[in-house]
Amino acid sequence: MTLFAPETQVRPVEPTRAVRYVLPLGIGIAATGIVGWVGPVGPLWGILVGLVTFGVFFWADITKHWIDAVILVVAGILGLSFFDWVLAARTGPVDFKLSLIAAIGWLIYGAATGFVVYRHRPGYRAGIIGFQALAWGGGATLALFTATTMGVLAPLNVRQIDAGEIQALTIGLFVVTGLAASGIGLGANVSFATRLPSLFAGGLVLVLTVMAYNEIQFSTAAIATQLTRVGEIVDDFWPPVWKWPKSVGQPETFNIVQPFIETFQIAIVGATIGNIFALPLAFYASRMTAPSNLAYRIAKGLLNVTRTIPDLVWGILFATAVGFGNPFAGALAMIMFSLTIMAKLLSETVDAIDIGPLEAGRASGATHTQVIQYAAFPQVRPNYVAYALYIFELNIRASVVIGFVGAGGIGRLLNERRNFFQWDQVMAIVIVIFVSVLLIEWLSIWARRKLV
């Protein structure tokens, strides 16, 4: 069967897909790392890295001109010799400052790669050179700093290791730095040249994952071993113990009840006050209802900053301010926690209200507050109620753990029992937390469904 089409139709060229560049890019990144094995011979390393980059550029159709090979090799010799020299001449540990200085070498090299892309891809501004320099330099700094402060190469910073070990670690350092710098840098080069941002994102994700996996000492072996001794661990925790003496010599009592109630009280106070105080802030943080542009910017900025502070950090701050072990600190923390979430959710809802009634209110001579209260708030009232319930649920979850930082509630008890290694008592507390969080979640979902 043939489907016929009139001859006048033009078939467009299929747009280039990112997949096409994955292989050359992957080989290039791997090669840049591997040539680090040549060891601390900066100029030689520079030549090899320059040639590898040119190879990738050649394969990805960015350039086929020999001049570019020369540019890359020369920049590689300059940049990587500098890198090598900084590391060899160091007297102290590889700290953040030294990492930054050493990465200047990669910065120089990155600028050269940017220049090559700039030469061959019309439409770009010279700023791309700086961008490329930052990508290569940033990758190198990241690798250098994390690998030497907390990762596998950390022994480099210890004085009492022999020369052979230093030699081996330094080679490792070159390999890691090469991988990270080219992972982000080459990714950015090809990404710019082909206008496929996913290549840059892919390189960044790859480098971050590898670094993170190394630096936090992620170990599947540990998981496997621990899984084989699940029985022992369960023995520690099971069966849960519900009663224990408050202090030595006293009778056993249910000690969970009182802190549990306290947790609820903290959540209630936090949610109630936070939800009320969030109202003015939410209306100020929406362009629709802000009294002025300045007020809008201040409220929005305040919200953006306070939103970055996690619930437990609020807890630490208030516990420090008003006294450790004080549930009042927990309540204050929950107020701030609720306030920031509610204000954000509500202000985004207010952004979408109908502006007509507001104009009607203003036209009748009402004050700004009156307009907000009578024309804007009724429009978002159902959302407000739903958010308030949701925030109450979040508050219960958060106030469970807030006691860990000395802000009252069941978390304080959990932390205390944990410090005594009473795992069976910890289990009892965890079960209580688990059940109450589940119950509150179901209740909140049920109530919100009822409301709609």
Partner 1 sequence: MTVPDLTPDEKMEQFRPQEPLGPRIIRWVVGIAIVVPFIWAVIGLEISPERIWRAPSEIWVLLSGMFPPDFDDSGRIVAKLLESIYIAWIGTMMGAVFSFPLSFMAATNVAPRWMTIPTRAFLSAIRAFPELILAVILIVPFGLGPFTGALAIGLHSIGTLGKLSSEVIEGVDDGPIEAIRSAGGTLPLQMRYGIIPQAMPTIVAYWLYRFEINIRASAVLGLVGAGGIGADIVARLHFRADWPKAGAALLATIGVVLVIDAVSSSIRRRIITGQPSTSMLSKGMIAITGAGRPPSTELGA
Partner 2 sequence: MGFIDFTNTSVTYPGGLVALKDVTLSIEEGEFVVVVGLSGAGKSTMLRAINGLVPVAGSVLVDGREVVGASQSELRAVRSDVGMIFQTFNLVNRSRVVNNALMGRLSKIPRWRSLLGLWPAEDKEIALQSLERVDIVEKAYIRASDLSGGQQQRVGIARALAQEPKIILADEPVASLDPVTSHMVMRDLQRINRELGITTLINLHFLDLARQYGKRLIGLNDGLVVFDGDIADVNDEVFRGIYGRAITPDDLLNEK
Task: Name which of residues 141 to 180 contact partner 1 (CB under 8 A).
Answer: 142, 145-146, 149-150
Q: Which residue in 67, 233, 355, 451 binds partner 1 (CB under 8 A)?
A: 233
HSE at residue 199, side-chain half, CA atoms within 13 A, is 26
What minimum distance in Å lies between the beta carbon of 385 and partner 2? 12
We find the least distance from the C-beta atom of residue 299 to partner 2, in angstroms, to be 20
Query: What is the Cα–Cα distance from 290 to 403, expressed in whole angstroms?
Result: 37
Greatest CA span in the chain, whole angstroms?
Answer: 98
Identify the residue among 237, 242, 244, 277 touching partner 1 (CB under 8 A). Answer: 237
451 forms part of the interface with partner 1 (CB under 8 A): no
Please identify, using beta-carbon distances, which residue of 161 and 360 lies nearer to partner 2.
360
Residues with Cβ < 8 Å from 420, sequence gap 6 or more? none
Q: Does the protein bind partner 1 through residue 381 (CB under 8 A)?
A: no
Q: In terms of CB distance, is 229 or 287 closer to partner 2?
A: 287
Please classify residue 103 by burial: count the beta carbons closer than 10 Å to its beta carbon, then call 0-12 exposed, 13-18 middle and 19+ buried.
Answer: buried
The partner in contact with residue 238, picked from partner 1, partner 2, none with C-beta cut-offs of 5 to 8 angstroms by kind, is none
Task: Report the site for partner 1 in 84-113 (rule: CB under 8 A).
Answer: 95-97
- Min dist. Cβ of residue 163 to partner 1 (A): 26
Chosen from partner 1, partner 2, none, partner binding at 363 (C-beta under 5 to 8 Å by type): partner 2
Exposure string over 380-401, b if 16+ CB within 10 A, otherwise e: beebbebbbbbbbbbbbbbbbb
Amino acid at 156: L
| Block residue for tokens 């892919």 | 202
| Residue among 10 and 363 whose Cβ is closer to partner 2 | 363
Stretch that binds partner 1, among 117-125, 170-178, 284-292, 356-364 (CB under 8 A): 117-125
Q: Is 127 in the site for partner 1 (CB under 8 A)?
A: yes
In the complex, what is the shortest distance from the CB of residue 270 to partner 2, in angstroms, rounded to a whole number?
24
Between residue 383 and residue 442, which ones bind partner 1 under the rule CB under 8 A? Answer: 397-398, 400-401, 404-405, 408, 411, 414-415, 418, 423, 426, 430, 433-434, 437-438, 441
Residue 375 binding partner per list partner 1, partner 2, none, with a CB distance cut-off of 5 to 8 Å that depends on partner kind: partner 2
> H/E element holding 244?
strand 244-245
In the complex with partner 1, the residue whose CB is nearer, 366 or 430, is 430
Q: Collapsing DSSP states into helix, strand and coil, what is residue 110?
A: helix
The distance of closest approach from Cβ of residue 225 to partner 1 in the complex, given in angstroms and rounded to an integer, is: 9
The least CB distance from residue 282 to partner 2, in Å, is: 17
From partner 1, partner 2, none, which one binds at residue 53 (CB under 5 to 8 Å depending on kind)? none
**Shortest CA distance to 279 belongs to which of 338, 218, 360, 231?**
338
What span, in angstroms and rounded, lies between the C-alpha atoms of 147 and 95?
A: 11
Helix axes 423-451, 377-402, angle to 10 degrees: 170
Residues that bind partner 2 (CB under 8 A): 354, 356-357, 359-367, 369-370, 373-375, 378-379, 381-382
Site membership for partner 1, residue 238 (CB under 8 A): no
Helical spans, DSSP H, in 195-229? 197-215, 220-228
Residue 235 interacting with partner 1 (CB under 8 A): no
Task: Closer to partner 2 by CB, 109 or 284: give it.
Answer: 284
Residue 148, token pair as written in the block = 């030497």
Least distance to partner 2 from the beta carbon of 356, Å?
3
288 binds, among partner 1, partner 2, none (CB under 5 to 8 A by kind): none
CA–CA distance, 129 with 110 (Å, rounded to integer): 8
> How far is 418 from 426, CA to CA, in rounded Å?
6
What residue 120 binds from partner 1, partner 2, none (CB within 5 to 8 A, per partner kind)?
A: none
Question: What is the sign of the dihedral through the CA atoms of 288, 291, 297 and 301?
Answer: negative
The helix/strand/coil state of 407 is coil
Stretch of 30-38, 64-72, 176-184, 188-196 contacting partner 1, by CB under 8 A? 188-196
Q: How far is the CB of 281 from partner 2 (least distance, A)?
A: 17
Read off the amino acid at residue 355.
I
Judge contact between 174 and 161, C-beta under 8 A: no
Task: Provide φ and ψ at 245, rounded to 5°.
Answer: -70, 145
